[in-house]
């Protein structure tokens, strides 16, 4: 089996804790239903053990911005 997390083209994915979720939603004055979605059947979601309703932080690298975060909610 191939470990897709080991590929340099796959950005870091991590599940936010409940406290981090609350901070994120408060900071951006939003709700989970307004976040971009990722399917529970996505291979990376299965691999990190995320469940429906979890928010995933994706850390992407950019030559201009360095690192930046992208958030998705599992549906």
**Residue 57 contacts residue 69 (beta carbons within 8 Å):** yes
pLDDT tens over the chain, length 75 residues:
677 777 777 899 999 999 999 999 999 999 999 999 999 999 999 999 999 999 999 999 888 888 999 999 999
**Residue 73 contacts residue 42 (beta carbons within 8 Å):** no
- CATH assignment of the domain containing 70: 3.90.940.20
- What is the reported pLDDT for 64? 86
Strands 37-38 and 66-74, by their bridges, are: parallel
- What is the reported pLDDT for 9? 79
Among all chains, which residue has been given the structure tokens 């996505």? 42
- What is the reported pLDDT for 74? 97
Total count of domains within the chain = 1
Helix, strand, coil proportions of the chain in percent (round to 5)? 30, 30, 40
Q: Which domain holds residue 29?
A: 4-74
């Amino acid at each position: 089996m191939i470990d897709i997390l080991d590929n340099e083209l796959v950005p870091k994915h991590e599940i936010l804790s409940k406290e981090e979720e609350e901070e994120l939603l408060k900071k951006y004055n939003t709700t989970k239903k307004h976040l971009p979605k990722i399917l529970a059947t996505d291979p990376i979601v299965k691999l990190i053990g995320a469940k429906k309703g979890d928010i995933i932080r994706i850390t992407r690298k950019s030559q201009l911005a360095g690192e930046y975060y992208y958030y998705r909610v599992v549906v």
